[in-house]
Amino acid sequence: MEQFSSRANRREMAIIALAGPLMNILVALVSSVVKSIPLFYNLMTTNIILAIFNMLPIGILDGARVFSYSRSLWLISFAFMLVLSVIMVI
């Protein structure tokens, strides 16, 4: 029988840390469908800003956890979020 640990390793922490900013991008994508309505445009831009800010590799932000696990994973995910953000705003 397999036992589960209550502590996550660095890889698992990085994956968990990516979940928040990716949800912000998902909400922004859904909001961008009707961005002509001011409420949805504000929702889209707010979530884009939150996602990008949260992925900065500083202190207790999620980006620092991802960056400490894998710099290439951080770079790929950060670039992905930036590119999607630019596409949504246009």
- Going from N- to C-terminal start, the domains of the chain cover 10-89
pLDDT confidence of residue 41: 95
Q: How far apart are CA 28 and CA 47, in angstroms?
A: 6
pLDDT tens digits along 36-69? 999 999 999 999 999 999 999 999 999 999 999 9
Closest among 23, 6, 5 to 62, alpha carbons compared: 23
Is the pLDDT reported for residue 35 higher than 80? yes
Residue 81 has pLDDT above 70, yes or no: yes
Arithmetic mean of pLDDT, 18-23: 96
CB 29 within 8 A of CB 48: no
Given a cut of 70, is residue 4 above it in pLDDT? Answer: no
3-state helix, strand, coil in the chain (%, to 5): 75, 0, 25
